Structure 1
Amino acid sequence: MIAAQAKLVYQLNKYYTERCQARKAAIAKTIREVCKVVSDVLKEVEVQEPRFISSLSEIDARYEGLEVISPTEFEVVLYLNQMGVFNFVDDGSLPGCATPPRFQTLVAQAVDKCSYRDVVKMIADTSEVKLRIRERYVVQITPAFKCTGIWPRSAAQWPMPHIPWPGPNRVAEVKAEAAWVLLCGEAENRLLMGGCRNKCLSVLKTLRDRHLELPGQPLNNYHMKTLLLYECEKHPRETDWDEACLGDRL
C-alpha cells in the first residue's frame, strides 16, 4: 500500500514538473503581453477617475493583481479608494462611479484614448466590463473596494462555526489583510497557502486546460479552485496536505 502511494505521488510530481510548469511558463508569456495593454487602459481610467487605483503591478518579473481564469481569459481588479468605501460596507450601497453603466463608460473612454487602441476593444452585450485583446485574449476588469480590516456584514456567516477549517489564526489573517472585492480572490489565495494545496490546484487547472476545454466553457479555473476549497473543509488538518497525501487529495 505504501509503495503504491509513493508511486502515485512520484507520478503526480512528474506530471506537475512536466505539464504544470510548462503551462505556467506559457501563461506567464501571455500575461506579459496582455498586461502591457491592460496597464495602459487602466492608466487612462485613473486619469478620468482618480479614486480608482489599479492593482496590477510587476514584482520580481511577475504580475500581481491579475487572476488567470483560463490560458486566454483573465481578470484584473481596479480598486476604488477613499470616497464610497465605507458607505458600501455600512449600508450596501455602491458609489456612482462603480455602478456598471458608469464604470463601462469610463473603461470605454479609456480604450479609445490608450496607446493600444488598435489591438483592444470592449466586448459588447455583457453587463461585465470585458476587453478583447488582439482577438485572442479576454480580460475582465472588476471594480473593487479596499476595506482592509473591515469585514462586510454580507460575509458575516463565514467561516461556518461547525467547520474546523480554516483555523482561527488564518481567519484573523484573512479578515485583517485581504481586501474585500465583489469577489474574494485574495482571501481565497491566502486560504490555499501551505502544504500541497497550490500544487493540487495547479494540477487541476492543467487537467482542465488539457481535457475539459469545452464549448461555452462550462468548467473554468474558478470551479477548480472552489472544488479545492471544499476539499480543504473536508480535510482541515495540515497533515492532510503533506506532499505524501497529494494523491489522496486529488
Structure 2
Amino acid sequence: MSESSTSDPATPDSPTPEQVAPAEGGTRLLNRTPALFVCVLAILGSGIAHGYLDGRWVDQPNLQRIGDQLTTLPNRVGDWELTTVGALDEQAQRTLQCHGSLVREYWNPVTGQRVNVAVLFGPRGPIAVHVPEICYSSQGTQPSGPRAVQTIQSGSDDHSLWSVQFRSVDAEEPHLEVWYGWSDGGHWQAAKYPRVWMTDRLYKIQVAGQPGEEGQPSAVERFLEEFLPALNQALAPPA
C-alpha cells in the first residue's frame, strides 16, 4: 500500500501538466511585455513625427489667405509677359496638399524665349519631396547630368537654386533646363534636405525652359533675375 501511495501521480508533490501550463504561459507574457511596450512607443512616435513633418500638429494660421498672395504677381516682370495661366491637376493637388499655387507661362518678346513657372505653398513634407528629377523622368526624359547649385542675385540678396538639364531617352543633347528650390518666406535655397527645416510649411519654385547656348545665360536664368524680386515682394507677410 505504501508503494502504491508514493507513486500516485495525483499527490500534491507531483503537479499535473494542466497545473504547470498557466504559470509557464504567464512567464512568457511577462518576458514579452517590455518588447511590446517598445513597439507601441515606436509606432506612436513615428505617427507623431510624420504628422509634425506634414504640418498636422502645429497651429495653423489662415493658410489660404497666405496662399492667395501668389495670385498678386504681376502679368509683366521686366521684359517677360504673361501668356498662359494654368493650374495644378487634381492628382497633383491631392498629393501636394497645396494651400496656394501659381502655374504660368511667360514669354520674352525681345528674345522669343518662353518659360514655364510653378510656385507652390503647402505642408513641408509633400512640398519637399517632389523634385523634377522624379516628375520629368516619368515623362520619357532623363537627367543629362547631375544637378548643380546656381546663384541668383536679386538686389542685395543672394538666392541659390538647383539646376538640372534633361534630354529625351533617345537623344544625346539636352532639350530642357529646370531650376528649383525652396523657401520658408526668406531666401530661396538649393536645400539638400528641405523636409527637416524647422518650419511646418514651405514655398517651392520650379522654372523650366530651353537650355542656353554655351557661355550664354539660359532662358530660365534670365527670367529668374527679373521674377524673384516680384515673387519675394508678393510673399511678404500680409498686413
The structure with the greater share of residues assigned to helix is 1
TM-score using structure 1 length: 0.29
Structure of greater relative contact order (alpha carbons < 8 Å, 6+ residues apart): 1
Q: Report which of the two structures shows the higher radius of gyration computed on alpha carbons.
A: 2
